[in-house]
Structure formats: structure tokens, C-alpha cells
């Protein structure tokens, strides 16, 4: 690690002002990526980004406390109020007063249901006042939320049927806030609103949402990417660090003091000492080969010089031997044969044909000297 960084569970933790796998890069202050902004001290990042310059993508997104909602669509007929056209205008005083009274009455009716959250009037129509509305139920997420809402909606239906059968006008007088028509109450539909996947995708953003998913752990939903450890979707980078990019999760392999790591999931380890040893052995072998080639080259040059020294000697021998007048001799052939059969500079080193030529040449030379009268030395030698 460099610049004061520390190693923690396969990740380099850098001090302020530095970044990189080994904290080797200096952070350029006031430069924030991915929509982040400089607050005078550091970059403030938007989800799903983090880091000194908002250049990293988080491994998981906090969804907070999950609340599951259910909507029960109901219709009741209020007989203690008169319908007017002003009730169609939700900004009018008539509508606001009616909405306030109706909300208080429903809160009293459903007070024994823990999941009750409120009502929402969707439509008012004449016939006394026909009130179409939603009863909103909410609860904290548990794996059994469907059973909880099933029981709650049954309780809502049971209570409203019971109340509208009892809470009626007597002698045109209503003892409660509102009175109802006994036979006009209807439960039309029940909808449970629970989609953690959608919230997870929204928080991840359009670019990275394909790589985030909701996974449950300890009965709690988590919005995680493959770079989050200890989940079924987790990507095992072995001796590396997972980083989410626009093309998907990717493993960045580490380099330690003793090993290099490589592969798509950093699954291959290469020992530095082994590589250095092999490089040393290869270098030694290469040096031996170079020395062998050098020795071979020197020996070849020496042999070539030795062969070249034969030609002048053969030319000298032919000059000494001479040539008989009127005869033809293939000197090139003799030289070739001399090179081919040469073993010793003396006569014993010559080939048989060459020795014959040499001896014949010597005999002819001796004969010419004997026949020449001017060759006194020769005559003297013969007389003697």
C-alpha cells in the first residue's frame, strides 16, 4: 500500500486525498463524477455512486423499513347528508367538510384494526350521498404479509357491514357522525401494493438497474448487486475486488508481494519467486547457447583459414614441377584434388594421381638437364 493506505479484507482503504487499488492516485479536488458536487470539503454523491470523486457504484442500496400497503375498495351510502353539486369540487367548503366528517367516522369504525391507515374518497354521487372510497391498510414487511392483509381485509368487510346495518337514521335523526343505508354497502376489490423490485430498480437508476436485484436475508429484503458479498447472487472474485461498471460486474485482480492474480474471477495465482526462477533459468540456458554458438563459429573460422592456406602451397608445387612442352594439364582439377585429398604438406599427404604427376615432373626435369649440353653440372654428374 502507498500514501498511508491500509489493507482490509482484500481492499485497500485509502486516506483522504488518495484513491486506486493501492492508493496510488492523488484525488483531484473539486472534480466530482456522475452528478456529484463539491461542497467545499468533499464530493457529495447521488445514489448509487460513492467514493472520493463519486466514481464507484455501491454494492447494495438501503431500502429502509419496508412498508407493505393494501387497498380495499368500498362503497357506502350515507343517508344523514344531502347531496349537492358542490361535492364534486374537491376545493369547495362542502367537499372539505364532508371529507373531514367521513374521515373521522371511518377512523372510529376501524380503530380496532392495527393495519388501518386512512381513507381516500374517490367519487361522490347522488342517492343521498353514495361514497366510493378506498380503505388504506399498511404494515411493516414480514414474509407473512399476505396472510396479515388477508385477515385485515376480512375484518374491514365484517366491521363495515356490521356498522352500516346498525348505524342508521331513526326518526330522521342520526345518533352518530354519519348514518348509512343498510343494504347499499359493497366491497368491490382488494389490492395489495408491494413491489420491492421496482423500488430497487428506481434507486439503482436506469444504467445500473439491470444488475441489482432484491434478495431476502433474515426475512428482510435487500437490494444488492453481484458485488455484494454473502448473497446468492454474489460474484466470487477470490483474490480480487468486484466492481460494478456500466457493462456489468467485473473482478479486478490484486497484486501482492508474493503473487500475481489473474482470470475472470482472479482464480489463478502466479508465484513471483517461481517466475523469477524460471526467467533466471531461461537466461542461463540462453547464455550457454550463445557461448556454444560462439565456440562453433570460432572453430569454423579456424578450419576455413586452414583450408585457405592449402591453395598457395599447391600452386607453388605446380610451379616447381613445371609442365612438359606440348602437353595439357588441368591445373584446376589438380588443385581440386589437392584440396580434397590433402592431409600433409609433404609428398605423402598428396593423392595418388598428384604423386604420379609430381614424380613424372621431377623425372622429366632431370632428363632435360641431362640432355642439355650447357648443363655442365649435369654432365659432370653423369661422367662421374
**pLDDT beyond 60 at 334:** no
Q: What is the pLDDT of residue 383?
A: 40
**DSSP conformation letters of 150-195:** HHHHHHHHHHHHHHHHHS--BTTB-SSS--B-TT--EEEEEEEE--
**pLDDT beyond 80 at 314:** no
Q: What is the chain's length?
A: 384
**pLDDT beyond 80 at 99:** yes
- So where are the chain's domains? 67-194, 311-383
pTM over 0.95: no
- Based on the number of CB atoms within 10 Å of its own CB, is 65 exposed (0-12), middle (13-18) or buried (19 or more)? exposed
Distance (Å, rounded) from C-alpha 264 to C-alpha 259? 16
pLDDT category of residue 34 using cuts at 50, 70 and 90: confident
Q: Which residue has the higher pLDDT, 15 or 52?
A: 52
Distance (Å, rounded) from C-alpha 186 to C-alpha 105? 17
The DSSP 8-state label assigned to residue 15 in this structure reads: P
**pLDDT beyond 60 at 376:** no
What are the C-alpha distances in Å from 384 to residues 376, 379, 381?
Answer: 12, 8, 5
Distance (Å, rounded) from C-alpha 238 to C-alpha 325? 97
Over residues 181-216, the pLDDT tens digits come to 999 999 988 898 878 888 888 889 999 999 999 998
Q: Which residue has the higher pLDDT, 3 or 294?
A: 294
Q: What is the pLDDT of residue 62?
A: 82
- In this prediction, residues 15-29 reach a mean pLDDT of 67
**pLDDT beyond 90 at 381:** no
pLDDT category of residue 260 using cuts at 50, 70 and 90: confident
Topology, domain 67-194: Alpha-Beta Plaits (3.30.70)
Amino acid at each position: 500500500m502507498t500514501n498511508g493506505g491500509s489493507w482490509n479484507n482484500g481492499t485497500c482503504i485509502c486516506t483522504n486525498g488518495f484513491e486506486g487499488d493501492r492508493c496510488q492516485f492523488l484525488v483531484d479536488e473539486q472534480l466530482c463524477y456522475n452528478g456529484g458536487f463539491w461542497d467545499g470539503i468533499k464530493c457529495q454523491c447521488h445514489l448509487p455512486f460513492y467514493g472520493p470523486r463519486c466514481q464507484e457504484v455501491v454494492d447494495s442500496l438501503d431500502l429502509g423499513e419496508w412498508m407493505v400497503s393494501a387497498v380495499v375498495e368500498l362503497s357506502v351510502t350515507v343517508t344523514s347528508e344531502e347531496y349537492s353539486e358542490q361535492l364534486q369540487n374537491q376545493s369547495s367548503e362542502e367537499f372539505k367538510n364532508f371529507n373531514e366528517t367521513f374521515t373521522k367516522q371511518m377512523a372510529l369504525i376501524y380503530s380496532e384494526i392495527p393495519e388501518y391507515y386512512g381513507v381516500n374518497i374517490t367519487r361522490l354521487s347522488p342517492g343521498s350521498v353514495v361514497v366510493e372510497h378506498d380503505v388504506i391498510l399498511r404494515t411493516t414487511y414480514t414474509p407473512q404479509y399476505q396472510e396479515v392483509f388477508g385477515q385485515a381485509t376480512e375484518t374491514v368487510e365484517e366491521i363495515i357491514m356490521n356498522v352500516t346495518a346498525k348505524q342508521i337514521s331513526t326518526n330522521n335523526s342520526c345518533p352518530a357522525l354519519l348514518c348509512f343505508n343498510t343494504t347499499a354497502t359493497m366491497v368491490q376489490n382488494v389490492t395489495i401494493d408491494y413491489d420491492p423490485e421496482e423500488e430497487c430498480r428506481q434507486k439503482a437508476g436506469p444504467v445500473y438497474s439491470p444488475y441489482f436485484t432484491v434478495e431476502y436475508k433474515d426475512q428482510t429484503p435487500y437490494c444488492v448487486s453481484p458485488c455484494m458479498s454473502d448473497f446468492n447472487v454474489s460474484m466470487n472474485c477470490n483474490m480480487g475486488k468486484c466492481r460494478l461498471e456500466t457493462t456489468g460486474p467485473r473482478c479486478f485482480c490484486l497484486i501482492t508481494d508474493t503473487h500475481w492474480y489473474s482470470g475472470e474471477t482472479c482464480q489463478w495465482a502466479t508465484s513471483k519467486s517461481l517466475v523469477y526462477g524460471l526467467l533466471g533459468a531461461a537466461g542461463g540456458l540462453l547464455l550457454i547457447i550463445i557461448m556454444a554458438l560462439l565456440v562453433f563459429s570460432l572453430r569454423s573460422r579456424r578450419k576455413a583459414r586452414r583450408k585457405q592456406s592449402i591453395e598457395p602451397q599447391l600452386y607453388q608445387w605446380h610451379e616447381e614441377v613445371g609442365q612438359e612442352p606440348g602437353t595439357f594439364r588441368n591445373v584446376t582439377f589438380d588443385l581440386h584434388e589437392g584440396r580434397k585429398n590433402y592431409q600433409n604438406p609433404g609428398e605423402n599427404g598428396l593423392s595418388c594421381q598428384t604423386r604420379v604427376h609430381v614424380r613424372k615432373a621431377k623425372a622429366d626435369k632431370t632428363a632435360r638437364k641431362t640432355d642439355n649440353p650447357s648443363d655442365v653440372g649435369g654432365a659432370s654428374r653423369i661422367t662421374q
